């Protein structure tokens, strides 16, 4: 028997009380890969085959857009895209490229109501945040319009942000940034059409201006494609006086490292 941690008796007692229920849950719902469903040793995990297909985004990468480089060009190097078209946010970080298993995880959360995937995805995002979550003042999810929220029942970005706030202990401002314009689905739209679609779509909720002014904000979304949505949201945050804006997504569309 493991020694009792007398410094945290409440946590120990809770673990002992929940142990029979955990065993029952494992019996009724055996641990399986979060992507393909094959049996695994634990919940909220990925099997070896699916894991090998995940391309995590690691350094070296562009310090602004997080685009990975095929070779280390030295500290502080920026991509041509970041130099030619500086974004309205300070930096972008993403956990992995949007292909194979990662795409399945995103679609599972977003379209198949797999909210059970959010804790694992949030943990990967926290690891990829490059210390920005640790140093930020608050986490803000990219919001859905109220009509889409009624149809979908939950906001995938808010789910990721909620679990990240729990893991990091940082404040979650889920109602500070609001979507005031009902936009069309971004899927299938080109870069210019996406930009036009979300122009003027966001605002700061009345009375929440002090949540943003002078603060270091981490803006959370599930996928970065062309950046139109997070750029529109970032402009709203910047106009409200945000001192620093980091965009953090679970996945990003990327062909190959440059």
As a whole number of angstroms, the distance between CA 162 and CA 160 comes to 5
pLDDT, tens digit (0-9, with 9 covering 90-100), for 47-56: 999 999 999 9
Q: What is the pLDDT averaged over residues 112-133?
A: 96
pLDDT, tens digit (0-9, with 9 covering 90-100), for 140-178: 999 999 888 877 789 999 999 999 999 999 999 999 999
Give the number of other Cβ atoms within 10 Å of residue 132's Cβ.
20
Find all residues with CB under 8 Å of 258, minimum gap 6, and list them.
67, 68, 69, 70, 79, 80
pLDDT of 2 higher than 70: no
pLDDT, tens digit (0-9, with 9 covering 90-100), for 30-46: 788 888 888 877 777 89
Question: Can you give the pLDDT at residue 185?
Answer: 72
pLDDT of 24 higher than 60: no
H/E segment holding residue 163: helix 156-168
Question: Can you give the pLDDT at residue 227?
Answer: 94
Question: Can you give the pLDDT at residue 6?
Answer: 46
Question: Can you give the pLDDT at residue 256?
Answer: 65
* Model confidence band, residue 254 (pLDDT cutoffs 50, 70, 90): confident
pLDDT, tens digit (0-9, with 9 covering 90-100), for 178-233: 999 887 777 767 777 887 778 889 999 999 999 999 999 999 999 999 999 999 99
* Model confidence band, residue 4 (pLDDT cutoffs 50, 70, 90): very low
As a whole number of angstroms, the distance between CA 51 and CA 32 comes to 13
pLDDT of 28 higher than 60: no
């Amino acid at each position: 028997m493991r020694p009792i941690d007398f410094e945290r008796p409440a946590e120990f007692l809770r673990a002992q009380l929940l142990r029979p229920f955990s065993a029952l849950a494992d019996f009724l719902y055996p641990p399986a890969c979060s992507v393909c469903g094959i049996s695994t040793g634990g919940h909220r995990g990925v099997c070896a085959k699916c894991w090998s297909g995940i391309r995590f985004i690691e350094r070296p990468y562009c310090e602004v857009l997080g685009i990975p480089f095929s070779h280390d060009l030295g500290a502080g190097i920026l991509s041509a895209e970041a130099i030619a078209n500086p974004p309205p946010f300070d930096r972008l970080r993403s956990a992995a490229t949007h292909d194979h298993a990662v795409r399945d995880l995103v679609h599972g959360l977003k379209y198949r109501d797999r909210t059970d995937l959010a804790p694992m995805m949030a943990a990967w995002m926290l690891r990829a945040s490059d210390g920005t979550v640790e140093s930020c003042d608050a986490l803000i999810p990219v919001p859905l319009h109220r009509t889409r929220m009624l149809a979908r029942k939950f906001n995938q970005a808010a789910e990721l942000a909620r679990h990240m706030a729990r893991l990091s202990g940082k404040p979650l401002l889920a109602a500070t940034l609001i979507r005031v314009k009902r936009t069309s689905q971004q899927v299938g739209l080109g870069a210019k059409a996406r930009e036009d679609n979300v122009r003027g779509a966001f605002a700061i909720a009345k009375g929440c201006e002090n949540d943003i002014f002078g603060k270091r904000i981490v803006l959370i979304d599930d996928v970065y494609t062309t950046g139109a949505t997070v750029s529109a949201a970032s402009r709203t945050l910047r106009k409200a006086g945000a001192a620093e804006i980091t965009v953090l997504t679970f996945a990003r569309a990327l062909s190959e490292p440059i």
